[in-house]
Structure 1
């Protein structure tokens, strides 16, 4: 397996599992993951939130952990990275307002580099205008945004445990889909796990 350089875009109140678990999974199989946040530097942290599904009309939110950054956003050269990961939570809502975030995402899309986005992370894909003609999924509340941006919504019959692959794009509705989402993303990356 060749080691891939992967960029992860996070911000304060990123969903805890959607940042921590993919980071640990990708590092576990040997990839080099750089975690960055606008206006923050290597050594800084972002606060996370745990979103849970407890039978309410939407997810509940609880305090998560501090997620340490190992890269400085202002130093990022997207040309040096092979793939992109966009976790969900509340951070995509405001990260999509950052012109540099949009520029970075467009680079990965235009160059057909692998992109993994989960939950509300797809809000950034919509803002970058890179989902038209693509099939994807997300947290159900993001469905109207995706459809209005020209994407085809893949319905998982109200289950959060599936993922959608469309070429270089791998999307999932929420953290319960991690096993499927990450295994599909690893396939796109050309990664294998030896028994």
Structure 2
């Protein structure tokens, strides 16, 4: 494994999607990156409840209680210039996180400095509110296609990379989404190809 350690900011809020916060938080640390998980109006050690969204044949996802996710840094102490990348998970949290001016200003910093931004599912609600998608190609939870297009972006299905912006539709996309983010970060992880399901 060849890599340069990076400092990554993870935007979290109450009822963030459980898998979409837990998996990147742990995976990025596993390969040696430092991750600060923050939420407006909360401090280090505070807990954000999470929600598990699943796809069970209904017209939309189902929602179940998830775990408590412990924050690792004070939101008010965040200096965006100190971070190399931003991760924006989905769930219900983005709907209200996008109402905080500080959140939108933080997001804009990463776009203005062309730093890697990885967002998935409803995390695109924050990016549309920050007005940073004009002329970009991206994706998100399928029901957000109209929002993304209204923000001036081109929509694609599946994991999408446009420069340093990596987007995905939901947690089933984690393997490809995280691989694209690691590539943006310059993290070269030696790995074997996954075995076929019938092997």
Cα separation, 2, equivalents of 1:14 and 1:4: 23
Cα deviations by residue, 1:15-39 (Å, 9 ceiling, x for unpaired): 0000000111100100000000000
Deviation of residue 194 (structure 1)? 3.1
SS at match of 1:20: helix
Cα deviations by residue, 1:70-128 (Å, 9 ceiling, x for unpaired): 00000000000000000000000000000000000000001000000000000000000
Cα separation, 1, equivalents of 2:159 and 2:73: 28
| Equivalence for 1:23 | 25
Cα separation, 1, equivalents of 2:19 and 2:159: 16
Of the candidates 47, 62, 87, which is equivalent to residue 49 of structure 2? 47
**Aligned ranges for residues 101-120 of structure 1 at < 5 Å?**
101-120=103-122
Deviation of residue 40 (structure 1)? 0.3
TM-score calculated relative to the size of structure 1: 0.96
Which aligned segments of 4 or more residues in structure 1 are displaced greater than 4 angstroms? Answer: none
CA RMSD of aligned residues (A): 0.6
| Equivalence for 1:165 | 161
**Aligned ranges for residues 135-174 of structure 1 at < 5 Å?**
135-155=137-157, 162-174=158-170
Structure 2 unaligned regions, length at least 5: 192-199
SS at match of 1:61: strand
Deviation of residue 192 (structure 1)? 1.2
Cα deviations by residue, 1:120-143 (Å, 9 ceiling, x for unpaired): 000000000000100000001111
Structure 1 unaligned regions, length at least 5: 156-161
| Equivalence for 1:126 | 128
Of the candidates 31, 35, 42, which is equivalent to residue 33 of structure 1? 35
| Equivalence for 1:185 | 181
Deviation of residue 193 (structure 1)? 1.2
Cα separation, 1, equivalents of 2:173 and 2:190: 22
Larger radius of gyration: 2
| Equivalence for 2:190 | 194
- 1:69 lines up with 2:65 in the alignment: no
SS at match of 1:120: helix
Count of matched residue pairs: 189
